[in-house]
With several copies, the nearest count.
Chain A
Amino acid sequence: MVGLELLDADAARDWMARTAAAVLDERDRLTELDAAIGDGDHGVSMVRGFTAVSAALAAAGELSLPGAVLLLAGRTLVSSVGGASGPLYGSALRAVGKALGDAGGADGKQVGAALGAGRDAIAALGGARGGDKTMLDAWIPAVAGFEFAVAGGGSLDAAAQFAAGAAEGGAEETVPMEARKGRASYLGPRSVGHLDPGAASTVLLFRALADAVG
């Protein structure tokens, strides 16, 4: 099977649909991760958000641009999730959508730049850096991996696969970290030894992208 060469509106919709399915499947695991070092709502929040995204995209009907799909998805997350992840994921997808602009189909380089804009939006809004034990610790290697693959001549498909793997590695690396941002930071040293829930959901987002373009 050969992957897509461009991320078009249908692929963007597919990305969101697959993310919605993934967070539904993994809801309880995300909740448990959040219960350990947070307040136990991350699974429910992600499900609520991406269910709303699915509904909003269905209601919007034809959208010809992938950027429009992601802008709407981001706006919907902001309006339906709440918590830390709502504004962060919402702003990230809005930034991705905005970066895609009016391209009807985005190639690997464009998608990589757009994902970078998403990462930057999270950093700008939340003020976290790599190593703070947040979703950024999955976003940063994922985007870096994506861009690295594209720079090396990799296909969109391959880059997305690479990014998902890098996200997973980044998420794993949050386990030994002591949280400095978000709710887990209140635990100080007791936050060590747990996977960050936002990093875990970021893996699902990038895995869904890989599946959507794969």
Chain B
Amino acid sequence: MKKLINSPDEVVTDALAGIAAAHPGLSVDTKARVITRAAQTRIGKVALVSGGGSGHEPLHGGFVGTGMLDAACPGEVFTSPVPDQMLAAAKAVDGGAGVVFVVKNYTGDVLNFRMAAEFAEEEGISVQTVLVDDDVAVQDSTWTAGRRGTGATLLVEKMAGAAAEFGGSLAEVAATGRRVNAASRSFAVALTSCTTPAAGRPGFDLPEDEIEVGVGIHGEPGRSREKIRPARQIVADAMAAILDDQPLDPGEEVIALVNGLGGTPLLELYIVFGEVASVLAARGVRIARSLVGNYVTSLDMAGVSITLCRADEELLTLWDAPVNTPALRWGV
């Protein structure tokens, strides 16, 4: 394993030091492991807190700032943070109007955030949780852990963040987040595995001519292993999985996110975006807004995820609202 790190144990601490040095607009508590905006939460504004394992950067720390998150809690690599972090974050950013936890649907994240929510309520902070579970590669059922949260997390954080900035109540901001999640579907394909600093070698071995289809963002194997194919066919299959799950009619509009998993060049992401645009054009679906880049990553994994969010006037307004974070910035 070759990585630009000092030691596997210090990865998160050292990265937090770098984030602190790079972004004067953020305030980084390296001991409590909480990243907040440098400015205090406006009294009466609902605060958004998210977090999860590290290794998905810029998610979540890169989305802290005006119009998006108030705080992020980075866990160890691919390990959800602990309740203490979320509680510290909630206390730091509560502006009296309550806190929304944006939680990707993984058992670890769910349980730790649930405990944190209990602790926060005990301290008099109102908490609502928005669960993100957009990954159609996972069969949903009440008997299982359900679907994973992946690319839609960015969309939820952006639009719920805008709703909070616009003065929405705790219930309204949470409802916005849930609505975005309900409107979003994702599917991911990996060309390589990824290597966590602690494990030191790839989570799985993938032959030179095979890809993992339906992967998550933690280096887990996907639903199936298939032969490598031209981008056009890979995208066609991913889009079929998404559109089977949530059909889109001609005339409908989407926000489309083509997201790199960390090791794939932007050049290839644009090729994928071109194919996504073709599929949608053939269906008469309009791409109202889009984003192409590395936003919700899986360390050094080569691969791509596609997220479509069915959009309407309200969501587009929230999407276009000003945002000023390290990784997403417009309208400011």
State the A residues within 8 Å of B (CB): 31, 35-41, 43-45, 48, 78-88, 125-126, 180-183, 185-188, 190
Contact = CB atoms under 8 A, between A and B. Distances in A.
Interface stretch (B35-43, B212-220, B231-239, B320-328): B212-220
A87 B115 contact: yes
The B contact surface, by secondary structure, is: loop
B78 A79 contact: no
Contact of A31 (B144, B198, B216, B220): B198
Given A35-B199, A35-B204, A40-B196, A45 B107 contact: no
A38 B224 CA distance: 15
Contacts of A85: 108
Contacts of A48: 76
Contacts, number: 116
Interface stretch (B81-89, B94-102, B269-277): B81-89
Contacts of B196: 39-41
Contacts of A37: 220-221
Q: Which 3 A-B pairs have the closest CB atoms?
A: A39-B218, A83-B108, A87-B111
A78 B112 CA distance: 8
Interface string B51-63: 0010000000000
Nearest to A49: B82
Contact of B108 (A79, A80, A82, A185): A82
A40 B78 contact: yes
A126 B114 CA distance: 11
A113 B196 CA distance: 39
B290 interface: no
Contacts of B139: 188
A187 B135 CA distance: 13
A18 B84 CA distance: 26
Given A40-B196, A181-B145, A185-B144, A84 B108 contact: yes
B111 A125 contact: yes
Nearest to B216: A186
A126 B220 contact: no
A86 B108 contact: yes
Contacts of B75: 82-83
A22 to B, nearest CB: 18
18 contacts: A35-B199, A40-B203, A41-B76, A41-B77, A45-B79, A78-B83, A80-B82, A82-B75, A83-B75, A86-B112, A87-B83, A180-B144, A183-B107, A185-B138, A186-B138, A186-B220, A188-B139, A190-B224
Contact of B107 (A35, A36, A182): A182
A41 B79 contact: yes
Contact of A39 (B78, B114, B143): B78
B80 A82 contact: yes
Given A41-B53, A82-B76, A84-B80, 7 more contacts: A31-B199, A39-B53, A45-B76, A83-B53, A86-B111, A87-B108, A186-B148
